[in-house]
Amino acid sequence: MNPTSRRVFLRNGIVLGASVTGLSALLAACGGSDSSGALDVAATPELEGETIKVLVNQPNLGAWKIVAAEFEKETGAKVELSPIPYDKLTSQAIRDVQSGAGEFDVFQYWYVGLGDLVEGGALEDLTDYIDEHEDEIKPDDYLASIYDPYTLMDGRRWGLPFDGDTFLLFYNRRLFDRFGVQPPTTWDEYAQVARTITQEGGGDVYGAIVMGQQVPIILGCSYADRLVGFGGRFVDESGTPQLTSPEAIAAAEALFAVGPDALPTPLQTGFDQAIPAFLNGQGAMIEFWTDMSVMASNPEQSKIVDDWAAVKLPVGGSNTVHGTALNAGFGAGVSAISKRKEAAAALVKFQSSPAVQEKIIGEFGTGGDPIRTSTLQSAAFKETFGQAAPDVAAGLEGSPLVWPNTAGAVDRLQTLVDELALGIQGQQSAQQALEKAQAVWERA
């Protein structure tokens, strides 16, 4: 995800005025979608002179500009991009289809909203299309950790991956040397390092930067980092919430405990505050998307070009296996009422191709992260991600924590971060916060 664009969508507003599931039900009651006929999976569309309209995530606009330029060069088709904040992607796609407007042919989507999109009838089923074009799409090349969470719902595939997103723990080597501390491997060690630097830093530097802004993609990520570290999960294999497990409670306790030693104040810390604080040397540690390695290495943006390093996220409790979480992450699918479904499917296939994905990864500032095994093995990936490349690859090739993505997941995650925020404020314990969230998730 591109940091500048992240700031834009944060300023444009994060919290939806109405729930995604509520919007879907309301629009369905007012009149269903106007289907334009099934996708002809075997057709070869005439793309020269065609115009394909795409609803895209603002932070990924740079990557989509590469896709658009390459697609026009290869096919003669024009791609019109309409960027909006990530939190509006799901509701806007559902509204576009169920209202019958049909403004867009392709939707970029946050994988957490996939269930809502399928339930709302917004996406064309691409299962047969993927089978028909298997030689070009190369589904076996997709990272196993990403392919199903990003595309599979109810036994069918509704899109193809676009951007993978995971976290590492970045730290300032100069500050670590100054205060005589080592990179933490456990969350207990992380807490001690944060406390040491903050207490001895005299208010000039802080041991940790904790992103706690009260939205799933910010505070939710900070919690997910600890949840996977303690060996927990949001839900079990049957979809039953696991928010009151010992691991989940320990993760929340670890999050709450670091607050006093973090950059003031976590609940007001989003991208705008976190990125410059770390790049200016004000914070010693930050959990962040893997493209922090690109920002930290850019002398036009960073004062710590030669002073940063990254390690895998810490572990906690009895867990000894380092992991990561699929924090954010996006796919692309065809609108169920597009009038040019074959052309739209061609674009979805194109954006996810090995060649295009490698080009996105190789360009600085696109915010692109790997979705394919071949990309992880490419020279472009290793050059762009630098010293962080091995840990990025290890996280994606492992078993990262998958966020819930069934219908209603976006709303349920907002409930979770609301309760976590109250805990960070000291108004309730970790167990109380998670018991309340668990109860809501069970009723959903």
- Please give the model's pTM, rounded to 2 decimal places: 0.88
Indicate the residue type of 330: F
Q: How far apart are CA 374 and CA 395, in angstroms?
A: 15
Residue with tokens 């692109």: 368
As a whole number of Å, the end-to-end CA separation of the chain is 30
What pLDDT is attached to residue 271?
84
What pLDDT is attached to residue 22?
58
Q: Which residues contact 399 (CB under 8 A, 6 or more apart)?
A: 145, 323
Do 368 and 198 touch, CB atoms closer than 8 A? no
Token pair belonging to 433? 């916060």
For the chain, residues with pLDDT lower than 70 are 1-36
Q: How far apart are CA 177 and CA 33, in angstroms?
A: 60
Do 424 and 256 touch, CB atoms closer than 8 A? yes
Bridge partners of residue 334, in order along the sequence: 106
**What's the chain's length in residues?**
444
Half-sphere exposure of residue 185: CA atoms within 13 angstroms, side-chain side: 4
Q: How far apart are CA 197 and CA 229, in angstroms?
A: 22
| Of 86, 106, 212, the residue nearest 159 (C-alpha) | 106
All structural domains of the chain: 3-164+328-397 (3.40.190.10), 167-325+408-443 (3.40.190.10)
Q: How far apart are CA 159 and CA 26, in angstroms?
A: 25
Residue with tokens 């867009």: 104
CA distances in angstroms from 99 to 25, 216, 408, listed in the order given: 12, 27, 20
Q: How far apart are CA 236 and CA 242, in angstroms?
A: 7
Token pair belonging to 144? 């196993």
DSSP-derived pairing of the beta strands 156-157 and 167-172:
unpaired
Residue with tokens 């949840």: 227
Alpha helices in 186-245 (DSSP H): 187-201, 221-229
For the segment 236-262, what is each residue's pLDDT rounded down to a tens digit?
999 999 999 999 999 999 999 999 999
Do 327 and 156 touch, CB atoms closer than 8 A? no
From the DSSP assignment, how many helices (H) and strands (E) are in the chain? 21, 10
Q: How far apart are CA 141 and CA 418, in angstroms?
A: 38
Q: How far apart are CA 92 and CA 339, in angstroms?
A: 18
Alpha helices in 173-270 (DSSP H): 173-179, 187-201, 221-229, 246-257
Q: Which residues contact 389 (CB under 8 A, 6 or more apart)?
A: 381, 382
Residue 411, φ and ψ in degrees, nearest 5: -65, -40
